[in-house]
Amino acid sequence: MTLNVPSTDAGVADVMAILVLLTEFAMLRAPLLRSQVRLYAFQSLVVTGLAIFVATSRHIDELYVLALLTFVLKVVIVPGLVMRLLPDADVDLAESSILGVASMVLVAIAVAAFAFFAVGSLHVHSVALPTSALAIAAAVVLVAFVLIILRADVVSQAIGFFSLENGVSVASLVVAAGLPLVVEVAFLFDLLVAVVVFGVIMRVHHGRANSLSTEDLDRLKG
Amino acid sequence: MPALLVVIIVLPLAVAVITFFSPVRLAKVITVISGVVTFGLALTLIPEVVTHAQLREGSLLRIDSLSMVFLVATSFLYATTAIFAAGYLHLGQGKAGTRYGRRFYAGLNLFCWSMAAAPLVNGLALLWVAIEITTVVSALLVAIDDTDGATEASWKYVLIASLGLGIALFATIIMYYAGTTVFGSAYNLSYGKLLSGASHFSPDVVRLAFVLAVLGYGTKMGLFPVHTWLPDAHSEAPTPISALLSGSLLAISFYAILRYFQIAVRTIGPTFPRNTLLIFGIASLLLAALYLLSQRDLKRLLAYSSVEHMGILAIGMSFGAPVAVVGVLLHVLAHAAAKGTAFFGAGSVVRKFGTKDLGRIRGGIGALPWSGPMLVAAVLALSAMPPFGIFRSEFLIVSGGLSDSRDTVAAALVVLVTVAFFGLSWSTTQIMLSPDVSALPAGSAGSHPLSKGEVSPWIVVSMVIGLVALAILGVHLPSQLSQLLDHAARELGVPKR
Amino acid sequence: MGPSGIPPEGVQALQVLTIVAGAPLVSGVIAHVEGRLQGRRGPRILQPYYDLAKLFCKETVVPEQSSWVFMIGPVVAFGCYLIVPMLIPVLTTYGLPLGYMGDILGGGFILALAGFSVSLAGTETGAPYAQMGGSRAMTFGALIEPTILFVVFVVALITSTDLPYALSATVRSSASEIVRPGHVLVAIAFFLVVLVDTGRIPVETHSGTLEFGMIDEARTLEHSGSPLALLKWGAAMKQLILYTILINVFVAPWGLAASGSLGHVVLAIPALLGKAMLLGLVFAVIDNLFSKLRLFKITEFIAAAFLLAVLAVLVFYAGGG
């Protein structure tokens, strides 16, 4: 293992990426609908910051536009939409955990470690951001899976998917900073559509079951 | 002629908008027209594609032999499903019925538009966008019936499929990264570019991208172990949507995997991609064959049959012999026709008997003089009975496997397909041919004899079209089509260095 | 070493003395600030000194069933707290005589021994609350142990040693050392460890007697007189030692004496105490902002600290530490 001291730039970028990952961990135990949505908004904000950081340090002007769109969409519109579609903001989701919080964190740590080792074995080199950020992004994706699997409520599961997309965004900042803007915009637009659909189905579910739990979604088998 | 691509991509979208605002009666008619026209346009494109290898319109639209196959499959199902839906849909009177009809038709057209767009767009990124749109639209269509089952199925579907697509997005990003070593940091992900540079990509990175793509798009394709949404969504969706999901959507996801396959074989050689597909294929086929034996729900039965056929596609690609690849592509077409027809028949049965429970349906042939026998025929076609298309395609796949000296796999394929055949045909023949109505528990739908007669002539028409197409594919392939399949198989092959 | 220099042995003695004499002061400041934050006037800043003096004057009551362990525990603990300051950069940037006799792990062991002897002394009485406190303290001590180990790993990864002086020097060396994620994570993880080990909110309320939620404090319920004074003093010293490690090793190792000259060393004392009081302020604010976790939720808190420390190692592995 070589231990070069990363540059200040790389250090700041990595700290931001880690913040994204830590937010993902925080989602594992968020007790309220509102706190879950806020965590997502915060995570998106950090992703926005990371985009601006790459734009400044690598002089990629398109990323400013992307950062702006990310901010408007993921920090403002998506959380707003979710809150609007599910007005019961104080719903208690804490009981939806299948495991205790500490065990969940341990599982997620194991999964994140796997992501780190997997990416570490790839020898990826990036000009835009340190490679470790890619490992962190992969960890975000996998922890999002843990979140979705271990939380049995529709909000956590939906937010899990949205935050998974945040993880992929971080990855794209690392290895695909030059991705054409039109493609990025298409991705974001798709996310918006997905959010609306998630919201509609969540609302339908809430209307039918009068709860946000997925406990009773076990009728279809075989 | 490239302008036709624009027509194909604009027409269903425009129709979707119109149907949302027009009266339902009109929506029925223009949806049928749009479906038939789209299919016709796709057919007229075949000779063009065969002669020119690829057509491009602007930088966004492109079609080659490979995508042509999938466009034909999708547009065929668009047309037949539009016809079927015209007979299947029984709308309640008043506002609720109108609203349902509008939503249904707008959704149907939008769904078909997104599935037609997927093979037409040029590049992995746009492909992902198109497939993501298919997910969200079809999730709403699965939920449209607003029952407990439909809500549950649509939630599982949208969540699992979206996660799969999240992985697929990751694969897209990784593939983009693979290209940056050749094309610099800013380029677009168009196929031509990727294929031309693929041999210089980093093997490790491409391997990762390929595995992620198989896992991600495989989720939507219904490969084991990420198939879990599939039976629920197929059984709870309105039957026309089930047909589209099964015949077309799964195929489109397979198409996405093939695009990655195409790049991967150029970078890392054929062994790794083929083995990956083999593992997923065998597992899917095995699972589906076992579930088919013990299935109690007519539509779930057909859904697991889809898992089975997707497994066959994956195995077929793993053989690598050109004849097997031709078989795979033919299988895509034949499966679309057969599974569409089978679902149409199932829809007819469900409408007639008011239940999907296999234990409560008896004497189908007696009650449904046309669609009953045709459902049996479609199921036999799905089980690879001659003279239908699937027999030919599976024959090609197996012979490709034997010629590639993958005897064990080919034998396993034949055995598992036979098991699936038993499961599928046993259940179907029982509900269709057994006249023993008295054996059923009292009070069930079949216990009092139903009046003889079809639900709607439209359903019969759609099934006839499907069976005719299946027979054409099985008995005598049109020369243009067989050329198209050959070209497509060549595009998927390993280029000589 | 200048003409007015203090011999290294003297500086070392001064390090220990600073901790011994300064610890009650820091505790007093924190208690005062806390009072102010809660809208009270708060105790006098020097109150801990008065308390200690008062306790030393009082008679000592020993439970009948207890043995010599009960009496020796506080003394052992106090002795341990006298040794640890020699190993860590309290006043100087460089190691002093005996300063290299133990690394971070060694210091950790000595602190653990102190905690163990206090717990043992409490348990020995057979009194239910003291026993409960002792067993809880041991349990949470064991749970936080992996985190501390990972913190040590990261220190070792950064400096290739496990000497507190080396990390302190590395952090001072450049700005990129401060923002490197491994360092940030491990500093926060250690901050959480300090919260647990000093028995602060959200783990434990440190003031008042709330027997059911007590951990560390419950262990001393049976003691009185001068042993209690030693325990209280020891607790204050432990707190200042942990603060010193957090400050002078991880977060802000500035203001330390680079040589043995009188001026430098004398300036380093108020610098340390000032920084410790600032840190104490942070803890006081945390005290006010959060409520105590239920006992069974403390594992979540510890899991969070563990997560940070593990992430630090992982990021290192990925080459971004």
Q: For chain C, how many structural domains are there in total?
A: 1
**Cβ(A143)–Cβ(A111) below 8 Å:** yes
Of B128, B154, B166, which has the smallest distance from its Cβ to A161's Cβ?
B166
Q: What is the CA angle C245-C251-C256, rounded to 5?
A: 70
Task: Note whether residue C99 is domain-resident.
Answer: yes
Residues 79-138, chain B, touching A (beta carbon < 8 A): 125-126, 128-129, 132-133, 135-136
Q: Which chain C residue lies closest to A122 (C-alpha atoms)?
A: C318
Q: Indicate yes or no: CB of A122 within 8 angstroms of CB of B205.
A: yes
**Cα A102 to Cα A107: distance, rounded to the nearest angstrom:** 9
- Quote the percentage of chain B above a pLDDT of 70: 96
Residues B39 and B57 in one domain: yes
Question: Which range scores top for mean pLDDT: A11-15, B366-370, C306-310?
Answer: C306-310
What tokens appear for B265 in the block? 């074989």
- C184–chain A Cβ distance below 8 A for any pair: yes
Q: Which comes out higher in pLDDT, residue B105 or A127?
A: B105
Closest by Cβ to A6, choosing from C176, C306, C317:
C176
In chain C, what's the furthest Cα-to-Cα distance? 60
Evaluate whether residue C257 is within a structural domain: yes
* Residue B446 confidence (pLDDT) above 50: no
Residue B151 has pLDDT above 70, yes or no: yes
Mean per-residue pLDDT, C295-319: 86
* Cβ separation A14–C299 shorter than 8 A: no
User: How many Cα neighbours within 13 Å face the side chain of B439?
Assistant: 10
Least confident interval from A154-168, B350-364, C111-125: B350-364
- Give the domain range for residue B145: 122-269
> Looking at CA atoms only, how far is residue B239 from chain A in angstroms?
17
pLDDT at A138 over 50: yes
What residues pair up with A153 in beta bridges, in sequence order? A213
Answer for the pair B61, B9: CB distance below 8 angstroms, yes or no. Answer: yes
Considering only alpha carbons, which residue of chain C is nearest residue A8? Answer: C176
Say yes or no: B177 and B324 in one domain: no
Q: Say whether both B409 and B421 belong to one domain.
A: yes
Contact B311, B254 (CB under 8 A): no
| Backbone CA torsion sign across C278, C280, C283, C284 | negative
Q: Does C64 touch chain A (CB under 8 A)?
A: no
Quote the pLDDT of residue C277.
Answer: 94
Touching C: which chains, 3+ CB pairs < 8 A? Answer: A
Q: Which H or E run includes B55?
A: strand B54-57
Rounded to whole angstroms, the Cα distance separating C248 from C163 reads: 13
User: Which residues of chain A make contact with B125, given a CB cutoff of 8 A?
Assistant: 179-180, 183, 186-187
Task: Say whether residue C4 is in contact with chain A using an 8 A CB cutoff.
Answer: no
- pLDDT, tens digit, for every residue of A47-63? 999 999 988 888 888 88
Per-residue pLDDT, B96: 77
Confidence of residue C290 (pLDDT cuts 50, 70, 90): confident
* Predicted pLDDT at B436: 59
pLDDT digits (tens, 9 = 90+) for B206-252: 999 999 999 999 999 999 888 889 999 999 999 999 999 999 999 99
**B338 confidence band (pLDDT: 50, 70, 90):** very high
Structural domains of chain B, count: 3
Neighbours of A216 (CB within 10 A): 12
- Report pLDDT for A4: 58
pLDDT of residue A57: 86
- Verify whether the Cβ–Cβ distance B125 to A157 is below 8 Å: no
Nearest residue on chain A to C179, judged by CA atoms? A11
- Which of A128, A171, A222 is nearest residue B300 as measured by Cβ atoms? A222
pLDDT at residue B497, as a whole number: 52
Residues B163 and B111 in one domain: no
User: Does the CB of B300 have a partner CB in chain A at under 8 Å?
Assistant: yes
Cβ proximity of B316 and B324 under 8 Å: yes
| Minimal C-alpha gap between A220 and chain B (Å) | 6
* Least-confidence region, from B260-269, B317-326, B437-446: B437-446
On whether any CB of chain A is under 8 Å from the CB of C150, the answer is no
Residue C304 lies in a domain: no
Instruction: Classify B357 as helix, strand or coil.
Output: strand
Give yes or no: residues B295 and B334 share one domain: yes
Contacts of C304 in chain A (CB under 8 A): 25, 105
Q: Do chains A and B touch (3 or more CB pairs under 8 A)?
A: yes
Q: Which of A52-56, C46-50, C214-218, C264-268 has the lowest mean pLDDT?
A: C214-218
Q: Determine the 3-state secondary structure of B188 from DSSP.
A: coil
Q: What is the mean pLDDT of residues A32-42?
A: 90
Report the alpha-carbon distance of residue A8 to residue B130 in Å, rounded: 40
For C225-254, what is each residue's pLDDT tens digit? 899 999 999 999 999 999 999 999 888 888
Burial of A100 (0-12, 13-18, 19+ CB in 10 A): middle
What pLDDT does residue A174 have? 84
Is A183 within 8 Å of B153 when comparing Cβ atoms? no
Query: Residue A1 has what pLDDT?
Result: 38
Instruction: State residue C256 phi and psi, 5-degree precision.
Output: -85, 155
Residues in CB range of A97: below 8 A, 6 or more apart: A28, A29, A104, A150, A151, A152
Chains that touch A (3 or more CB pairs under 8 A): B, C
Which residues of A are less than 8 Å from B180 in CB distance? Answer: 175-176, 178
CB contact under 8 A, A123 and B139: no
pLDDT tens digit sequence for C20-51: 999 999 999 999 998 899 888 889 999 999 99
* Alpha-helix runs per DSSP H in B354-456: 364-367, 371-382, 389-403, 407-433
Q: Do chains B and C touch (3 or more CB pairs under 8 A)?
A: no
Whole-number mean pLDDT of chain B?
89
pLDDT at B447: 47
d(CA B297, CA B359): 8
Q: Where is the domain boundary, B103, B120, B137? A: B120
H-helix or E-strand containing B56? strand B54-57
Residue C122 to residue C130: CA distance in whole angstroms? 5
From CA C172, how far away is CA C138, in angstroms rounded? 35
Which of B246, B269, B292 is at the close of a domain?
Answer: B269
With b for 16 or more beta-carbon neighbours within 10 A and e for fewer, the C129-152 pattern comes to: bbbbbbbbbbebbebbeebbebbb
Q: pLDDT tens digit string along A59-93?
A: 888 889 989 999 999 999 999 888 887 766 566 77
What is the ipTM for the molecules in this complex? 0.91
- Is C321 within 8 Å of A6 when comparing Cβ atoms? yes
User: Which of B19-23, B67-71, C37-41 is modeled with the greatest confidence?
Assistant: B67-71
SS3 (DSSP) at B64: strand
Please state, for a pLDDT cut of 70, what percent of chain A lies above it: 93
Picking from B173, B201, B268 by the largest number of A CB atoms within 10 A of its own CB, the best residue to mutate is: B173
pLDDT digit string (tens) for B368-405?
888 889 999 999 999 988 889 999 999 999 999 998 88
Question: Which candidate from A3, A11, A116 shows the least CB-CB separation from C176?
Answer: A11
Instruction: Show residues of chain B in contact with A136, CB under 8 Å.
Output: none
Q: Say if residue C4's pLDDT is above 90.
A: no
Q: What backbone phi and psi angles, to 5 degrees, belong to B57?
A: -130, 110
Q: Which of A195-199, B240-244, B312-316, B451-455 comes out lowest in average pLDDT?
A: B451-455
Looking at the fold, whether B19 and B161 belong to one and the same domain comes out as no
Residue C127 CA to residue C125 CA, distance in Å, equals 5
Question: What is the average pLDDT across B46-70?
Answer: 90
- Structural domain harbouring C113: 8-145+209-294
Give the closest of B139, B176, B177 to A197, CB-based: B139
At B261 the pLDDT is: 95
Contact of C181 with chain A, judged by CB distance below 8 Å, is answered with yes
At residue C1, the pLDDT reads: 44
Question: With 60 as the cut, is the pLDDT of residue B440 above it?
Answer: no
User: pLDDT tens across A175-188, in order?
Assistant: 888 788 878 888 88
Which of C19, C33, C60, C34 minimizes the C-alpha distance to C233? C19
The model's confidence at residue B83, banded by pLDDT at 50, 70 and 90, is very high
Domain parsing of chain A, residue ranges: 9-209
With beta carbons under 8 A apart, name residues in chain A contacting B235. Answer: 220
Q: Is B153 on the interface with A (CB under 8 A)?
A: yes
C64-94 pLDDT tens trace: 888 888 999 999 999 999 999 999 999 988 8
DSSP per-residue letters across C39-95:
TS----TTHHHHHHHHHHHSPP---TT--HHHHHHHHHHHHHHHHHHHHS-SSBSS-
Confidence at C209, pLDDT banded by 50, 70, 90: low
Question: Does the pLDDT of residue B464 top 90, yes or no?
Answer: yes
What pLDDT is stored for residue A87 in this prediction? Answer: 64
Exposure on the CB side of residue B313, measured as CA atoms within 13 A: 28
Does C contact A via 3+ CB–CB distances below 8 Å? yes
Chains A and B form CB pairs within 8 A to the count of 131
> Is A204's CB within 8 Å of B151's CB?
yes
Give the end-to-end CA distance of chain C in Å, rounded to a whole number: 37
In chain B, the residue whose alpha carbon lies closest to the alpha carbon of A173 is: B173
Which residue do the tokens 């001393």 mark? C220
Closest CA to B426 of B473, B379, B393: B379
* Helices B322-353 and B371-382: angle between axes, nearest 10 degrees: 150
At B425, the pLDDT band (50, 70, 90 cuts) reads confident
pLDDT band at residue B53 using 50, 70 and 90 as cut-offs: confident
pLDDT at B313 over 90: yes
Is B335 in the same domain as B419? yes
* Interchain CB distance below 8 Å, A14 and C180: yes
Token pair 């470790």: residue? A132
Nearest to A101 among C179, C303, C315 (CB): C303
Q: Tell whether B159 is within 8 A of chain A (Cβ).
A: yes
Q: A133 and C320: CB-CB below 8 Å?
A: yes
